Amino acid sequence: MGKIKVALAGIGNCASALLQGIEFYKNNPENTVGLMHPELAGYRPEDIEVVTAFDVDERKVGRDLEEALFAEPNCTQVFWKNIPDYQVKVEMAPVLDGVSPHMKEYDASRAFIVKEAKPCDVVKVLKESGAEMLINYLPVGSEEGARFYAEACLEAGIGFINAMPVFIASDAQWEKRFRQRKIPIIGDDVKSQLGATIIHRVLTNLFERRGVKLENTYQLNFGGNTDFLNMLNHQRLVSKKKSKTQSVQSQLAAPLSPGNIHIGPSDYIRWLDDQKICYIHMNGLGFGQVPLTVELKLAVEDAPNSGGVMLDAVRCMKLALDRGIGGVLTSISAYTMKSPPVQYTDGEAAQMVEEFIVGKREH
């Protein structure tokens, strides 16, 4: 199989974990722990090649990609240090709404420091790099930035994977534009391999299937990375809270009223670094309307938790490109994203992906 040429927008913790993972599995081919598909229609993790990258932080822009992956404010766990020379320099991107003003009030080891430089011509760079798709890893709240990269992908004629909570793949007008251009898109808002959202979804679906009425629930999340610092600005949280909430609500035949469900990032705790702590609380009524309560705590390194998911998204997009398929890839979006255009149970989505991989399903 050939290489899968990928562009990255945002060289943060998720990009660092993704590339560490690619190199880890390339050098440990017999170790498939953490992979949902060690091989996907002939494509393996090591077939993914990053050909260009964009950021705005002065500690990353202009540096070799393999150095920028470990530059501050990145703080995710380093599980594979031997990153090769990708022959890629990180390009200066337009800042747009990617940096919250409150970042200036915090320690530079976690905050963004915007480089004073002229942004590159993103579309030109994408075309010259030979990228086949772009992964959007911009910070939560970068509404303008997400739309900018979606537009750039349309202009460059490459696929778009929207890993952040801005509604593009799930927006009918955007989807129509990608479909008309026969360019594939996956989105929106990446769902971790075993994270807060998928656990909360599965438990909610379990309540529904076992005849237990979910009365009310909350999900609280804490972390110490730049993403959680960024989300202290609650104005940037509107799409994030909506994405996480509707992902859980979609598992119920009758959604809870807004007053009975609370889901979203809760606070920033510096010393947690890239560790994310999640508390889920669910109150229900069972047989005879007798009350029951479920409480759960999840502790996970945040960035690597979406790495395996993204490997599948990238390879499914490559399949779509190989097959000449454009528009939203419904199955892999439902499997890997919190806010796909159409919600399915996670079991249904997994089956749909298997059908897509073998060619039984177009999207």
Q: What is the DSSP string of 122-189?
A: HHHHHHHHT-SEEEE-PPTT-HHHHHHHHHHHHHHT-EEEE-SSS-STTSHHHHHHHHHTT-EEE-SS
CA distances (Å), origin 182, targets 10, 54, 297, 355? 25, 25, 43, 21
Q: Is the confidence at residue 264, as pLDDT, over 90? A: no
What is the average pLDDT across 219-234? 96
Please state, rounded to an integer, the average pLDDT across all residues of the chain: 97
pLDDT band with cut points at 50, 70 and 90 for residue 327: very high
- Please state whether the predicted TM-score (pTM) of the whole model is above 0.75: yes
Torsion angle in degrees (nearest 10) through CA of 94, 100, 101, 103: -110
- Domains in the chain and their CATH numbers? 4-191+305-357 (3.40.50.720), 196-304 (3.30.360.10)
Nearest to 160 by CA among 33, 303, 8: 8
Interstrand relation of 133-136 and 159-162 (parallel, antiparallel or unpaired):
parallel
Q: Is the confidence at residue 291, as pLDDT, over 90? A: yes
Alpha carbon 111 to its chain's center: 20
In the 3-class helix/strand/coil scheme, how is 200-241 assigned residue by residue? HHHHHHHHHHCCCEEEEEEEEEEECCHHHHHCCCHHHCHHHH
Question: Is residue 3 within 8 Å of residue 44, measured between CB atoms?
Answer: no
Q: Is the confidence at residue 214, as pLDDT, over 80? A: yes
Rg (CA), the chain: 20
- Tokens representing residue 258 in the block: 């807004």
